[in-house]
Structure 1
Amino acid sequence: MPKKVDHQERRTLIADALMRVAADQGLEAVSLRHVAAEAGVSAGMVQHYFRTKDEMMAFALSVVRERSQLRVTEAVAGLGENPSPRLLLRTMLAALLPLDERTRDNGRVALAFLAYTAVRPSAAPSLHEDTAQFTGFIASVLPDRHGAAAAAGLLALMEGLGVYLLGGQYTAEQALGALDAQLDLLFGSSAAA
């Protein structure tokens, strides 16, 4: 009886290898050959699942997105029922920051993907939709006097903090302090959770 192949599992194996190569050596080192070697599979297998580097990159980006969403979901689940809007946003945004070694690897890869899509916007059209949805959600949780511009600013702050964390300019404590200060401005310091 022929062995049943889990194609999603193989695609994820390849995406994980791509992310390790990208985290260790940068996206410029990502090639079908390097990814195949890192995954321990043939270049032909990688080409079977991904015809081009852009296809491979788009799939790996979707894996990063799924893992980020899982981190946020797990963090929010730990809040119990009906957390305050400020605590909800802080928890979600903090879960996306590269605050420890595991999340730093994901952060390096995510940053590399953002740079990649900056020069190849067609490589990740889902990023536009994700950003719009997340900004809309943040705006819906902020106090009424704030709107989409404040939500976009909070999202940009989180992304910038991530860059500074990855570059070593900020510690986790400094980044969370900056996030808390911005949330205090938006919610008022009496709403601190």
Structure 2
Amino acid sequence: MGARHEERRRQIAEALLAIIDRHGLDAVSLRDVAAEAEVSLGAVQHYFRSKDEMLLFALDYISERGTERIQRNLGQGERPPRAIVRDILAELVPADDQRRAELRIATAFTARSLVSPNLADHLRTGYAALHDVLALLIRHAQDAGEMPAALDPERTAATLFALAEGLGTHVLIGHRDPQGALAILDEHLDRLAATAR
């Protein structure tokens, strides 16, 4: 797949995300995405054979953007495993307009997955991958003395993931502000660190 091909797919994905953010998933049509991306309907159909294929690509695209932000943070020198865990979890809390839009879109996908087995399967795969990364980092944090050795990494990863995702939803609907949500996340991580000492 050439760079031009990938660039056009991303252009279409950005258009799709803009429509979903403004109007929700039900408003998405290939024709509207083509108009938003300022390309022909045929161009959209060339890159995506169906609406579902386009939606799955857009979901992966959102995930990639978050991963790129985390990797940029990782590129800032050696960082302890606990700090990396915090970076990953903080991506689930919308602290700026881009993350807020991404979470609104991800929430729309989650709601759609309740009636779309293919989308639900795709989300489960993504959730499992993120869970595995968190569990691995927690093991590294335990080895480094940053988290208690007695913790079950799998259960701790599940708890932290659920906490961050729930806080993100609370921010999205205005129940909490981003700083307050991140403070709760940090307080929980600090308690884990304190019990390791």
The interval holding the TM-score normalised by the smaller chain is 0.7 to 0.9
* Whole-angstrom distance in 1 between the partners of 2:120 and 2:31: 22
Provide structure 2 residue ranges, at least 5 long, that are not aligned to the other structure.
Answer: 139-146
Residues 40-51 of structure 1 correspond to what in structure 2 (within 5 A)? 40-51=38-49
Q: In the alignment, what sits opposite 2:156?
A: 150
Which position in structure 1 is the counterpart of 2:123? 127
Q: Distance in 1 between matches of 2:51 and 2:18?
A: 15
Unpaired segments ≥5 residues, structure 1: none
Contact 2:90 2:182 in 1 (8 A): yes
Q: CA RMSD in A?
A: 2.2
2:31 is matched with: 33
Q: Paired residue for 1:188?
A: 194
Q: Is the CA contact 1:85–1:141 (under 8 Å) kept in the aligned structure 2?
A: yes
* One-letter amino acid of the structure 2 residue matched with residue 23 of structure 1: D
Query: Alpha-carbon deviation of 1:17?
Result: 0.4
Aligned equivalent of 2:167: 161
Q: Does the 8 A contact of 2:110 with 2:120 survive in 1?
A: no
Matches within 5 A, 1:167-178: 167-178=173-184
Aligned to 1:51, what secondary structure does the other structure show?
A: coil
Shift of 1:46: 1.5
What SS class does the counterpart of residue 92 from structure 1 fall into? helix
Match of 2:10 in 1: 12
Question: Which of 152-161 and 103-112 deviates more?
Answer: 103-112
TM-score (norm 1): 0.86
TM-score for both structures, normalised by structure 2: 0.84
SS at match of 2:114: helix
Instruction: Give, in whole Å, the separation in 2 of the partners of 1:104 and 1:13.
Output: 20
The whole-number CA distance in structure 1 between the counterparts of 2:37 and 2:48 is 14
Map of 1:94 onto structure 2: 90
Could you list the per-position Cα deviations for residues 38-81 of structure 1 after superposition, in whole angstroms to 9, with x for gaps in the alignment? 11122222122222111110111111111111011112323x21
- Whichever residue aligns with residue 151 of structure 1, its letter is A
1:94 Cα shift? 1.4
TM superposition shift of 1:6: 2.0
Question: What's the counterpart of residue 73 of structure 2?
Answer: 75
| Amino acid in the other structure paired with 1:174 | G
Number of residue pairs aligned between Structure 1 and Structure 2: 186
Amino acid at match of 1:50: F
Give percent identity, aligned residues only.
42
* In 1: Cα distance, 2:30 partner to 2:134 partner: 38
Work out the CA distance in 1 between the residues paired with 2:47 and 2:170.
Answer: 35
Output the amino acid matched with 2:69.
Answer: R
Task: State which of 50, 53, 61 in structure 1 corresponds to 2:51.
Answer: 53
